[in-house]
């Protein structure tokens, strides 16, 4: 579980925004961090007093090297590290599941098959470790995390290369008493066989709920490990013989990790979680769901220093505007327009007009203050993988701007400035900083996708420019707690509630939920939140996770259908969705089928063929031909010569909302004043009503639109709500 950051904690480490503490020890602190890519990470930071010790820094450098040499789906991967930094750090992929120790304490021992499956997966992880020339040296329940698609071996902090000389003292015991080999208890060098002994202890614990050599004082534990036989009472007979071999006192008599894997290979699960009890699956789901609602970011010393550097509002404005910039006019917008019009006429009058404007003493008047433009920005994927959506959104915003500028009573003229991020996160961050540097930019709408939106947040937020996305639904993003960002679309974690209620209305009482890891964050957030909402509605949910590398999902579908669900949900990629649709069509299942909307595109229809018919999609975008947006669709077709795509009406809506707030400001507002106006009141658009939570800045309205595939196309079925 997480703890709040303390005031003395850093705000960022190695490009990771720190969100909370995961734990602390004598040598350092482990934080929950979020990288710029949006991925969560466990960031281990060494305390300064140890970083200054050459031997300790060398040991940490060895830890980083060791962890990077392990490449296994059952071991956490290194995502970044800097052992030479002033505060050395190591980041690994964050696994939100509970540890095996927590699981057994909360839910009791695992069933017989669960122990065997766990043993096989961990044996494979250790095989990778050993083939990399390493010894883990601390295989224990606390270093094994459980997820819906298998366990993860973590903490290579004391992993040791077999060919290296140890940096620890000769008589130091390395490992955790109760889960280490006799040779380690005698302070002798560990070997791959030592890890196998620890694996045997761990599996005995998983099967019985107690360590095989008991508990108590460290000296007593070490003595029993060296001299006593393990207590294997309660271990299933089909596993006991293998564990006895793993726990042999002589390392040469133990099987290798690969041999343990081969001994358990017949118990391979078919990419499912049926090897875990329901209580454990719920615990994993609850822990994962908790990570979707991350704790508030605590102010730290680094944050406070940065805030102090900005000073009061005047200093913040000075930071945004050069010293030689003219004061922002606060007169009535129409009056300013007439004054500027008069100045333009004088300029057009040539020398005579200039002579007339001179003072009596012949001195020319002071230069007029520079004219401030009213700029609305758009950042979108105009030429990349989502260019159809991005171009439609840019056109929707442009249409709203042109309609406003055509008004005879407009108080100002609005300029649209567009940038193309090409759907690339690196470019998105770059073009955001470039656009944000324009001092006349009032607000920006974009970006198109989740990754580019997350990458662009910092560029706009640091200049206090309001940013609104009409299509990116991720929750949360890579930059934590942006202060001037509004998500004008229901997020992935809000949308599934509507689908769950609809399934209940359709009579669903048992729902299979298949989450495709290949679908990334959208698939996980939609699928996992769907499972949670089903539980709230007292509907039995049966989750499964398809690993990215799984090629054939037919066995998973067959297993899920065998449990007699009356509804089915899939979240993932279009290609995998098509494969699932075909596999499901080959069974006798005839209940409602729901497809996560990111997978609902033309590729799914084409690849699934007739099997696509009947699938329902609950999406935050309205059909462009729907009655509420027909006037927009006609104007779009007249302007651009084609029908608007999905998401164009939403961008048009958001642009009109921003323009409305600008006209209500009574003069040119600052970016902060505009943001406050956007938060203040409800805006009724043509797609939905926009009201934002004042504290969390998310959209409070939940208008969702249902589609059903009929005859090879997505047929619009109207708006649904809670």
Nearest residue to 140 (alpha-carbon basis) of 95, 81, 201? 201
Q: In terms of domains, do 141 and 229 share one? A: yes
Q: Give the pairing type, strands 374-380 and 441-445.
A: parallel
Nearest residue to 419 (alpha-carbon basis) of 437, 400, 405? 437
CB 539 within 8 A of CB 504: yes
Q: In terms of domains, do 113 and 232 share one? A: yes
Of the residues 291, 324, 357, which one is the last residue of a structural domain? 291
The Cα–Cα gap between 7 and 414 comes to: 44
Q: In terms of domains, do 534 and 586 share one? A: yes
Taking 50 as the pLDDT cut, the residues of the chain under it are 157-173, 295-362, 365, 368, 479
Q: Which domain holds residue 567?
A: 496-619+708-720
User: Does 546 fall in a domain?
Assistant: yes
CA dihedral 46→50→56→57, nearest 10 degrees, is 60
The Cα–Cα gap between 573 and 582 comes to: 14
pLDDT of residue 90: 87
User: Does 367 fall in a domain?
Assistant: no
pLDDT of residue 40: 86
The Cα–Cα gap between 599 and 597 comes to: 5
SS3 label, residue 667: coil
User: Does 549 fall in a domain?
Assistant: yes
Of the residues 94, 119, 147, which one is the last residue of a structural domain? 94
The Cα–Cα gap between 283 and 180 comes to: 28
Nearest residue to 450 (alpha-carbon basis) of 487, 481, 503? 487
User: Does 304 fall in a domain?
Assistant: no
pLDDT of residue 169: 35
Q: In terms of domains, do 530 and 574 share one? A: yes
Q: In terms of domains, do 608 and 629 share one? A: no
Q: In terms of domains, do 79 and 190 share one? A: no
The Cα–Cα gap between 373 and 340 comes to: 12
CB 669 within 8 A of CB 374: no
How many domains are contained in the chain? 4
Of the residues 94, 111, 134, which one is the last residue of a structural domain? 94
16 bridge partner residues: 13
pLDDT of residue 261: 92
Nearest residue to 66 (alpha-carbon basis) of 173, 161, 155? 161
The Cα–Cα gap between 508 and 533 comes to: 13
Rg over alpha carbons for the chain, rounded to the nearest Å, is 31
The Cα–Cα gap between 395 and 640 comes to: 8
CATH number at residue 416: 3.40.50.2300
Q: In terms of domains, do 259 and 396 share one? A: no
Residue for token digits 């305390």? Answer: 47
What sign does the CA torsion over 210, 216, 217, 223 have?
negative
CB 421 within 8 A of CB 428: yes
pLDDT of residue 321: 37
User: Does 24 fall in a domain?
Assistant: yes
Look up the pTM and report it.
Answer: 0.55
User: Does 296 fall in a domain?
Assistant: no
Tokens representing 659? 């323009």
Q: In terms of domains, do 426 and 451 share one? A: yes
CB 145 within 8 A of CB 99: yes
Q: In terms of domains, do 90 and 152 share one? A: no
User: Does 352 fall in a domain?
Assistant: no
User: Does 217 fall in a domain?
Assistant: yes
The active-site residue, picked from 9, 71, 138, 238, is 138
CATH number at residue 187: 1.10.510.10
CATH number at residue 72: 3.30.200.20
pLDDT of residue 325: 37
Q: In terms of domains, do 201 and 172 share one? A: yes
Q: In terms of domains, do 443 and 549 share one? A: no
Does the annotation count 138 as an active-site position? yes
41 bridge partner residues: 33, 93
Q: In terms of domains, do 115 and 250 share one? A: yes
């Amino acid at each position: 579980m997480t703890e709040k950051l303390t005031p003395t904690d850093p705000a960022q480490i190695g490009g990771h925004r720190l969100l909370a503490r995961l734990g602390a020890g004598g040598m350092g602190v482990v934080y929950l961090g979020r990288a710029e890519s949006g991925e969560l990470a466990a960031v281990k930071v060494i305390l300064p007093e140890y970083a200054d010790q050459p031997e300790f820094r060398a040991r940490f450098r060895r830890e980083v090297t060791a962890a990077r040499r392990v490449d296994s789906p059952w071991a956490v991967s290194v995502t970044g590290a800097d052992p030479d930094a002033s505060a050395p750090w190591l980041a690994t992929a964050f696994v939100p599941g509970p540890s095996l120790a927590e699981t057994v304490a909360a839910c009791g021992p695992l069933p017989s098959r669960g122990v065997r499956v766990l043993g096989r997966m961990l044996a494979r992880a250790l095989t990778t470790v050993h083939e990399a020339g390493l010894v883990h040296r601390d295989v224990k329940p606390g270093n094994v995390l459980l997820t819906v698609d298998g366990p993860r071996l973590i903490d290579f902090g004391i992993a040791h290369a077999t060919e290296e000389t140890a940096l620890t003292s000769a008589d130091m015991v390395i490992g955790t008493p109760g889960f280490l080999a006799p040779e380690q208890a005698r302070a002798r060098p560990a070997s791959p066989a030592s890890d196998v002994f620890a694996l045997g202890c761990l599996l005995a614990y998983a099967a019985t709920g107690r360590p095989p050599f008991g508990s108590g004082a460290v000296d007593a534990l070490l003595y029993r490990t060296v001299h006593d036989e393990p207590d294997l009472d309660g271990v299933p007979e089909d596993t006991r013989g293998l564990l006895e071999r793993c726990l042999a006192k002589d390392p040469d008599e133990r099987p290798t990790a690969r041999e343990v894997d081969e001994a358990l290979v017949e118990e391979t699960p078919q990419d499912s979680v049926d090897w875990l009890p329901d209580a454990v699956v719920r615990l994993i789901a609850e822990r994962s769901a908790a990570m979707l609602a991350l704790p508030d970011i605590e102010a730290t010393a680094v944050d406070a220093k940065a805030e102090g550097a900005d000073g009061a509002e005047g200093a913040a404005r000075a930071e945004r505007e050069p010293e030689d910039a003219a004061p922002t006019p606060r007169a009535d917008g129409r009056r300013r327009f007439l004054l500027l019009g008069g100045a333009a006429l004088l300029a057009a009058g040539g020398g005579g007009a200039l002579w007339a404007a001179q003072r009596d003493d012949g001195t020319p008047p002071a230069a007029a203050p520079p004219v401030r433009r009213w700029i609305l920005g758009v950042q979108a994927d105009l030429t990349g993988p989502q260019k159809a959506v991005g171009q439609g959104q840019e056109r929707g915003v442009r249409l709203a701007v042109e309609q406003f500028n055509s008004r005879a009573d407009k108080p100002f003229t609005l300029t649209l400035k567009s940038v193309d991020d090409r759907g690339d996160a690196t470019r998105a961050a770059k073009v955001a900083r470039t656009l944000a540097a324009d001092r006349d930019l009032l607000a920006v709408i974009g970006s198109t996708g989740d990754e580019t939106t997350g990458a662009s947040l910092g560029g706009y937020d640091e200049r206090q420019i309001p940013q609104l996305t009409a299509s990116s639904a991720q929750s949360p993003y890579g930059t934590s707690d942006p202060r001037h960002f509004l998500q004008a679309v229901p997020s992935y974690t809000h949308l599934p509630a509507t689908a769950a209620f609809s399934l209940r209305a359709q009579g669903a009482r048992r729902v299979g939920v298949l989450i495709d890891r290949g679908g990334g964050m959208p698939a996980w957030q939609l699928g996992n939140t769907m499972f949670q909402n089903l539980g709230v509605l007292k509907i039995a949910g049966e989750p499964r996770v398809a690993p990215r590398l799984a090629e054939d999902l037919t066995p998973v579908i067959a297993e899920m259908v065998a449990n007699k669900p009356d509804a089915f949900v899939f979240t993932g990629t279009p290609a995998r969705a098509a494969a699932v649709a075909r596999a499901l069509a080959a069974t006798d299942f005839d209940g409602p089928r729901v497809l996560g909307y990111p997978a609902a595109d033309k590729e799914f229809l084409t690849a699934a063929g007739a099997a696509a018919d009947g699938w329902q999609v609950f999406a935050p975008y309205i059909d462009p031909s729907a009655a509420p947006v027909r006037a927009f669709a006609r104007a779009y077709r007249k302007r651009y010569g084609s029908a608007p795509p999905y998401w164009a009406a939403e961008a048009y809506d958001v642009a009109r909302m921003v323009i409305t707030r600008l006209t209500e400001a009574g003069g040119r507002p600052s970016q902060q004043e505009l943001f406050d106006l956007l938060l203040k009141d409800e805006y009724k658009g043509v797609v939905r009503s926009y009201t934002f939570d004042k504290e969390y800045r998310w959209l409070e309205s939940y208008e969702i639109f249902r589609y059903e595939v009929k005859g090879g196309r997505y047929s619009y079925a109207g708006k649904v709500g809670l």
